[in-house]
Amino acid sequence: KQEVTQIPAALSVPEGENLVLNCSFTDSAIYNLQWFRQDPGKGLTSLLLIQSSQREQTSGRLNASLDKSSGRSTLYIAASQPGDSATYLCAVRDPGANSKLTFGKGITLSVRP
Amino acid sequence: DAGVIQSPRHEVTEMGQEVTLRCKPISGHDYLFWYRQTMMRGLELLIYFNNNVPIDDSGMPEDRFSAKMPNASFSTLKIQPSEPRDSAVYFCASRQTGGHSSGNTIYFGEGSWLTVV
C-alpha cells in the first residue's frame, strides 16, 4: 500500500528566503506526482504535476523535482512571500487505468513579513 | 468552466439526521472522486467513479455512507444516520482521462464543511 509522508508538518520562514518542501513515498512504481496548495477554508489547487518519466517541472518561482528510485520529491519555492503562506500537499498516483491519488498530510508554511 | 461545484458549503446537523452532499464535476471529466479531510487523518479517498460507475468504494467508512452518480454532471454523498465523528470537510474532485502527455490534473471543489452535533 502506497504511503506518502511530508515532514515537517509546519514551517515558518522569513520573507525572501528560498525554501524546500519534502515529500517521500514508499512505492516507487508511480504514474505521476502532484503538488497542491490549500488555503484555509478552501479546496486544493494543483501547482505542478510531474510524470513518472520526468525529473522536474517549473512554474514561476516554483520548481518540483522527482527522484523515483529514492521515493522522493521536493518543491522548491524561490524568494518566498507572505502570499505563499498555505498548506502544501503532495500526492502520488499509482500506475493503472483506474488508479487513485494517495496524499500526504501536508506542510503548513508560514512566511513572515 | 466554473470548476467543480459543491453544495452545501457549510452544514451543521444533529446526530442521527441524514446529510446529503452534492457535487457537479467539470464538464467533460469522466472521473469523479469523493475525499474526506480531517486534522487527524488528512485527506482520505472515500469513493470514485469512472463514467458514472463506482470503481472503488473501499474507503467508505461504514454502511452509513453511500454515494451515487446518476449522470455525468451530478453526484451525491449521503450519510445516514450522521454521527459527530463524521464532522469533517468533504471534497469532490474530477479529472479527465488522457494520454501520458496530458497530465491528468485533478481539480477539487471548495469542499462541504460538515459539523454533526
pLDDT exceeds cutoff 60 at B91? yes
Q: Tell the residue number behind the cell numbers 481539480, with chain if given.
A: B107
**What is the reported pLDDT for B101?**
45
> In terms of CA atoms, which chain A residue is nearest residue B31?
A98
Residue-wise pLDDT tens digits, B20-57: 999 999 999 999 999 999 988 899 999 999 999 999 99
Band of the pLDDT at A98, cuts 50, 70, 90? low
Residue-wise pLDDT tens digits, A36-60: 999 998 899 999 999 999 999 999 9
State the average pLDDT over residues B93-104.
68
Q: Does A69 touch chain B (CB under 8 A)?
A: no
Contacts with B104 from chain A: Cβ below 8 Å: 32, 49, 93
A44 DSSP β-pair partners: A38
Q: Among B100, B24, B78, which Cα is nearest to A54's?
A: B100
Q: Does A96 touch chain B (CB under 8 A)?
A: no
pLDDT exceeds cutoff 80 at A97? no
Contacts with B32 from chain A: Cβ below 8 Å: none
Residues 6 or more apart from A4 whose CB is under 8 A from it?
A: A23, A24, A25, A26, A90, A91, A92, A102, A103, A104
Classify B48 as helix, strand or coil. Answer: strand
Contacts with A104 from chain B: Cβ below 8 Å: 42
Single-letter residue type at A47: L
> In terms of CA atoms, which chain A residue is nearest residue B88?
A41
3-class secondary structure per residue, chain A: CCCEECCCCEEEEECCCCEEEEEEECCCCCCEEEEEEECCCCCEEEEEEEECCCCEEEECCEEEEEECCCCEEEEEECCCCHHHCEEEEEEEECCCCCCCEEECCCEEEEEEC
Average pLDDT of chain B to the nearest whole number: 92
Band of the pLDDT at A1, cuts 50, 70, 90? confident
Task: Provide the shortest C-alpha distance from residue A2 to chain B (in Å).
Answer: 13
Band of the pLDDT at B103, cuts 50, 70, 90? low
State the average pLDDT over residues B61-87.
96
